[in-house]
Structure 1
Amino acid sequence: MIATIGASIAPGIALLSYFYLKDRYQTEPLHIVIKTFIFGILLVFPVMVLQYGLQEEIEFGTLGKAFIIAGLIEEFFKWFIVYYTVYKHMDFDDPYDGIVYSVAVSLGFATLENFFYLYSFGIQEALMRALLPVSSHALFGVTMGYYLGRAKFEKSASAGKLLMFYSIMIPAVLHGLYDFILLSTKNHYLWIISPFMAILWLTSLRRIRKVQNKSKMAPF
């Protein structure tokens, strides 16, 4: 059990530390980041209940399971936590902060989900879980936070609303596409999911550099 807990937590903590420490100019208060991570853990339970209830009432095909049950529901509730707990907080004072907090809630969610999976199927799955599901949640969080951070500091109200819409829908679509690949290509999914993850990593790192350059503390 101790090994399972350690293997479940380690990827989430490692990835959160990585994205937290990539804040070049002013790292966020650690207690708020930890609180957001814990909110992500707690979020698993209501999301699981809602997903189970919907699937009991409605017959979803592969597309529905991927894009609605997994993508839209999970990303919306992560967004909801970030928006209503830290978005208006005084410490959310830089575009990169959106990435830190969105990644924190996403990795909290992924960590408990990872524990349930490893507890059920064995610790031998730990490496693949770290490379795929846990990492993907972090990268969906980067995408969400990128648009949230831009929306927060956008001067145009109409552009801000559009960026806010993107902060929910683009991570939801990416998450749905990820799950659709897994559900529809079970035997050969690595041939498709590997380039998908590589593109997601490259795009996320590019977005990180972009918001860092927009920081009010960035040198001119």
Structure 2
Amino acid sequence: MEDPIEARANESEDLYDVASWEPRTALDNVAVGMYRGASWLVRWTLVILGVAISGLVVVGAAGAFIIDNPFILGLAVLSVVPAGLLALYVYVTDVTTKEPATLIAATFVLAVFFAGFAALINSEFSGLQEAGLVGLVLFYFLIVGPIEEFVKLLAVRLYAFRDDRFDSVVDGAVYGAVAGLGFATIENLIYITGNLQGSSAVVTTLAVDTLAQFTAAVEAGGQITAVRSLAGPGHVIYSAFAGYYLGLAKFNREDAVPIILKGLLIAAFIHATYNLLVGIVPGIVKLVVPGVPDLVLFFGFVVVYIGLFFFILYRKLERYRRQYHAVSEDVEDPAELEPELTEFDADATAAPGPDDLAGD
């Protein structure tokens, strides 16, 4: 949208401070510097708080136990193998330039750190779960789903999104998937550790050698590791959807906020619906088909539910791939496929509120 003066004026006319603006004077530069400085401060404050809160959550819940039983870390790694493979799939389906390892690693680490915010908020509202079905619906759809998807998206927005190597819509899905993997990793570690702490069957510190420790850890944590291995891919899929729309917003600046909100709503809804139904559907099926082990019912539900939304994600990524190849067929110069970098300012910064998520 342009001001009437700017729309009708000749291009040769200088409309600075009349109907257009760019930093020219010392005061202009001071204002820009204050804006960028405040944005830098907000970003680093979030990172420091995330590190502190996540550290307290992990150390407070299980720090000493993990030190005494280091093989728990191995179980946590095993539990995210399916999620890691799914994130790798999203990565390799990116038909544009491949994403650099630095941005991938930073997104993963930020998601691990920011998981602490979600854990803190979830615990504050966990009492809703005691209010029956209505309480569960409120807890999952208003707290868990939106908060967890927001912090994962924030892990993408805070760093990778600002880099000019985030240069296509589909890059958002890649970084979203990586953020989901980071979140699943720390969440699985906490779940597995908590489960083993509550079990009196295993005290791995009494094992006399490394092999005995490993065997004891696997025997004690095998079931929870298997359960968490099926929960992890969900995080990757949910945040891949949200990330895709974040990428779409980067190249559609005028409608950026609604686009991002659409992605968050989709991700939060899929996430919350899973959390709600996973505790209901297997029980209903068992009433109809008694005798089926609970773990089998759980696996069956997860495979069907996650498989459905993986297929939808696959269709979305495949459509992007087809369109990309379609517009590439008649292009002789690869430079013609470069993104319109004028549509966004990779160096600009903003506080990470809703407008910040849309871009600067």
* Pairwise TM-score range, normalised by the shorter structure: 0.7 to 0.9
Residue 53 of structure 2 corresponds to none
For 1:181, which of 277, 295, 299 is the aligned residue? Answer: 277
Greater CA radius of gyration, 1 or 2? 2
Which residue in the other structure is 1:115 paired with? 189
The count of corresponding residues between Structure 1 and Structure 2 is 217
- Which structure has more RCO (C-alpha within 8 Å, separation ≥ 6)? 1
1:77 aligns with 2:186: no
* 2:310 paired residue among 201, 210, 213: 201
Unmatched 5+ stretches in structure 2: 1-69, 196-220, 286-296, 330-360
Q: Which amino acid aligns with 1:95?
A: V
Instruction: Report matched runs for 1:99-110 at 5 Å.
Output: 99-110=173-184
Query: Which of 251, 257, 270 is 1:161 aligned to?
Result: 257
TM-score, normalised via structure 1 length = 0.86
Pair 1:34-2:105 in alignment: yes
1:178-202 per-residue CA deviation (whole Å, 9 max, x = no partner) reads 1110233453464654432221011
Looking at secondary structure, tell me which structure has more helix per residue: 1
More deviation, 3-12/36-45: 3-12
Per the alignment, residue 238 of structure 2 pairs with 140
Amino acid at match of 1:195: V
CA RMSD, 1 decimal? 2.5
Distance of aligned partners of 1:200 and 1:58 in 2 relative to their CA distance in 1, 3 Å threshold: closer
Pick one of 126, 144, 163 that aligns with 2:225: 126
- Secondary structure of 1:25 counterpart: coil
Are 1:43 and 1:77, in contact at CA under 8 Å, matched by a contact in 2?
A: yes
Among 126, 151, 155, the alignment partner of 2:249 is: 151
1:47-58 matched pairs, under 5 angstroms: 47-55=118-126
Task: Kindly state the Cα deviation for residue 15 of structure 1 after the two structures are TM-superposed.
Answer: 2.8
Distance 1:161 1:112 in 2: 29
TM-score (norm 2): 0.55
Alpha-carbon separation, structure 2, partners of 1:91 and 1:192: 38
Q: For the structure 1 residues 5 and 205, does the alpha-carbon distance in structure 2 shift closer, same or farther, using more than 3 Å as the test?
A: same
Query: Structure 1: which 5+ residue stretches go unaligned?
Result: none
- 1:87–1:49 CA distance, 2 compared to 1 (3 A): same
User: How big is the shift at 1:58?
Assistant: 9.7
Partner of 1:13: 84
Hey, what's the Cα distance between the residues in 2 that align with 1:95 and 1:215?
Answer: 11
Instruction: Give, in angstroms, the shift of residue 8 of structure 1.
Output: 3.5
> Take 2:171 and 2:144, find their aligned partners in 1: how far apart are those partners?
25
Judge conservation of contact 2:125–2:139 (CA < 8 Å) in 1: no
